């Protein structure tokens, strides 16, 4: 086939695809606006979002507003003291539009509210929280969409992230439990008693961390953390890399497989005692051999174990 024939065939395919997309955009059904004002006291929020743009903002009272929603695609209800906003689309549906405004749902919450539970399950839509989420229990699940939260203040905070991105700028909580697939998690300032993270191939970044106990389990992704003050830390990596900067004040253990671990710690090397098991482990540029134990056990302890990866510790 000559170049002219190839070009004509390609043009026909493009025209057909564009036609299908236009038909799809024109066959999505009626678009509606909706609103809901709950009555009485609200102690819990349950949100299940599909693919629309979602926001939580601060205001004088509770109010839910839906804009340009596909008819019957979302339900706004109240059950006792629980506000429920959920999608009625249980299965994936292709939707493409060249002409329509995006669909939106906005929840307004009072500034002085304290929730018992907040549950957010986000699918492929973008979810933004422009205010603090105060609750005894806060649970957030992220699918393939992106979620950005201004602040979380909760006794218990759990999150699960698939392939999407999740960012929280400020977290104050007793306990954090988090799991990450192939997406990214970014925490700004974190103050907690205990944090447990299980990470697959995604990346986890924290900009500031104060914690008594921190447990990090990493597969092939990366972890980067700065401005940390942690008493006891346990970190284990498979093929991913870990970089941490800050202060460790108690007993900490680091285990690497084929990935690398780099620690940049505040203080004096004389304040630490070490247990070393494995090759390619250096402390301030010095190699202490495959097996090493400090003669004196200090309050600050580093237990280091390596496979085929490197562990590089700088203390100064």
* Per-residue model confidence (pLDDT) at position 92: 41
Give dist(CA 12, CA 34) in Å, integer: 41
Give strand pairing partners of 78: 83
Give dist(CA 148, CA 168) in Å, integer: 6
> Would you place residue 15 in the very low, low, confident or very high pLDDT band (cuts 50, 70, 90)?
very low
Cα first-last separation, the chain: 69
Burial 224-258 (b: 16+ CB within 10 A, else e): bbeebebbbbbbbbbbbbbbbebebbebbbbbbbe
* Per-residue model confidence (pLDDT) at position 71: 95
Q: Are 138 and 154 in contact (CB under 8 A)?
A: yes
Hunting for tokens 């986890």 — which residue is that?
Answer: 204
For β-strands 63-70 and 31-36, DSSP reports them as antiparallel
Widest pairwise Cα distance in the chain: 81
Structure tokens at 169: 């700028």
Cα dist. 1→8, 9, 12, 14, 75 in Å?
11, 10, 15, 19, 55
pLDDT in tens, 196-207: 999 999 999 999
> Would you place residue 89 in the very low, low, confident or very high pLDDT band (cuts 50, 70, 90)?
confident
Q: Are 146 and 120 in contact (CB under 8 A)?
A: no
Give dist(CA 25, CA 100) in Å, integer: 8
* Per-residue model confidence (pLDDT) at position 209: 99
Handedness of CA 130, 183, 200, 263 (dihedral sign): negative
Q: What is the pTM of this model?
A: 0.88
Q: Give Cβ neighbours of residue 87 (< 8 Å, ≥ 6 apart).
A: 48, 49, 50, 52, 73, 74, 123
For β-strands 74-79 and 82-87, DSSP reports them as antiparallel
> Would you place residue 102 in the very low, low, confident or very high pLDDT band (cuts 50, 70, 90)?
very high
> Would you place residue 10 in the very low, low, confident or very high pLDDT band (cuts 50, 70, 90)?
low
Residue 45: pLDDT over 80: yes
pLDDT in tens, 216-242: 999 999 999 999 999 999 999 999 999
Q: Considering the chain, what is the average pLDDT of its residues?
A: 92
Which residue segments constitute the domains of the chain, with CATH numbers given?
Answer: 29-175 (2.160.20.120), 193-316 (no CATH)
């Amino acid at each position: 086939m000559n170049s002219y024939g190839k070009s004509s065939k390609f043009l026909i395919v493009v025209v057909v695809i564009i036609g299908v997309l236009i038909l799809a955009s024109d066959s999505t059904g009626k678009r509606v606006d909706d609103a809901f004002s709950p009555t009485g006291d609200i102690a819990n929020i349950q949100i299940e979002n599909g693919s629309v743009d979602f926001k939580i903002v601060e205001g004088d009272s509770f109010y839910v507003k839906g804009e340009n929603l596909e008819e019957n695609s979302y339900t706004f209800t109240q059950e006792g003291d629980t506000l429920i906003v959920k999608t009625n689309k249980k299965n994936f549906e292709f939707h493409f539009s060249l002409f329509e405004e995006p669909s939106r749902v906005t929840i307004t919450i009072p500034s002085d509210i304290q929730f018992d539970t907040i549950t957010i399950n986000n699918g492929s839509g973008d979810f933004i929280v422009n205010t603090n989420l105060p609750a005894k229990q806060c649970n957030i699940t992220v699918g393939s969409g992106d979620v950005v939260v201004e602040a979380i203040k909760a006794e218990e905070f759990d999150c699960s992230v698939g392939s999407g991105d999740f960012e929280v700028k400020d977290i104050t909580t007793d306990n954090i439990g988090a799991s990450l697939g192939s997406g990214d998690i970014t925490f700004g300032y974190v103050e907690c008693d205990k944090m447990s993270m299980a990470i697959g191939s995604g990346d986890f970044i924290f900009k500031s961390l104060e914690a008594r106990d921190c447990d990090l389990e990493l597969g092939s992704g990366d972890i980067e953390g700065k401005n940390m003050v942690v008493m006891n830390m346990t970190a284990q990596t498979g093929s991913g890399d870990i970089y941490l900067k800050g202060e460790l004040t108690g007993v900490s253990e680091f285990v690497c497989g084929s990935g690398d671990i780099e620690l940049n710690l505040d203080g004096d090397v004389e304040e630490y005692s070490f247990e070393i098991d494995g090759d390619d482990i250096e402390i301030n540029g010095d190699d202490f051999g495959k097996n090493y134990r400090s003669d004196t056990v200090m309050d600050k302890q580093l237990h280091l174990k390596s496979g085929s990866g490197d562990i590089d510790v700088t203390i100064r």
